[in-house]
Amino acid sequence: MNRVCCPNATKLAYKKVTHVIFDLDGLLLDTECLYTKATQTVVAEFGKTYDYSVKVQVMGLTGVEAAKKLVSLLDLPISWEEYYELAKTQYALVMPKAELLPDTESIYLRVFSDIAKQHGKVYTPEIRAKVIGTLEATGAEIAVREMKLPMSSQQFLTQYRSMAQQSLIKVGLMPGAERLVRHFHSMKVPIAVATSSAKDSYDLKVQRHLDLFSLFNHVVTGGSDLEVKHGKPSPDIFLICASRFKDKPAPEQCLVFEDAPNGVQAAVGAGMQVVMVPDKQTSEELCKQATLKLNSLEEIKPELFGLPPFKTRS
């Protein structure tokens, strides 16, 4: 396999494909920051830190596999089943915001500041530091207490959610994601999603983007699909996803889009080419298996893989 890590490589470096498979988290939806927040909330209760050296080892795993690995890596004093239940509670709280881009903290900052200003108070960096990373209800309690606001934490929370919602519904998907998906669909390129999420988690995350996700031929949710015996970095999920296209393409006819090293390894193991859009903290060493590495989906040139090119914008 040609392993070219720049968007300007020649067409000769790639093989023609006919079908496309997308990962979900961190690739189409910017959920990785939400997973990080939820996970840190859980492990912080046990005095542990979920840093990138740990995160990179669990990216792309199913919920159960990630739970087992995290309990082991962080030496948590609970069983993986107990951790899994705690994590699911946190995910349910944060995943409805799965369309958020990396600048969501600025939205939260503005909302908290606006509420404080209404009561002649200032949302200082010191108070913000105490709020960041906490649950919404906890953050509301801290804000009301620290700024001595003349309202209950529940009143603050209600106002916060109303104001934040007005901003959050205007925030889009990962850069280039919608354009690419709609392009492939309009050109009748068969597309599917292969995610390590369970079905209920997937439904929670895409609820604000049902129109876009209705364009996919099918979705494989590895966390709950009984046919997926092993999660990424095992190739199972991509092989099963390919087999569910009506014309059952060979693995080499499929192109995978991924953000996680585990996902890249899975795609390569399945015999597929893979375009990687990694987290900025991912080392070059962990990207070297990718057929092509990009900074954003906005950089992709479908014609490199024999797929229909984007129409020229007038």
Vertex 169 angle, CA 282 and 207, to 5°? 75
Task: Tell me: cis bond preceding 233? Omega within 30 of 0 counts.
Answer: yes
Active-site option among 25, 225, 236, 259: 25
247 is catalytic: no
Q: Give which of 65, 55, 34 is closest to 281, Cα–Cα.
A: 55
Q: Which of 23, 30, 225, 236 is catalytic?
A: 23
Q: What is the DSSP letter of 95?
A: G
H-type alpha helices, 207-313? 210-213, 236-243, 261-269
Query: Could you give phi then psi for residue 266, rounded to 5 degrees?
Result: -65, -45
Q: 51 an active-site residue? A: no
Burial of 100 by CB count in 10 Å (0-12 exposed, 13-18 middle, 19+ buried)? buried
Three-class DSSP category at 255: strand
Positions marked catalytic: 23, 25
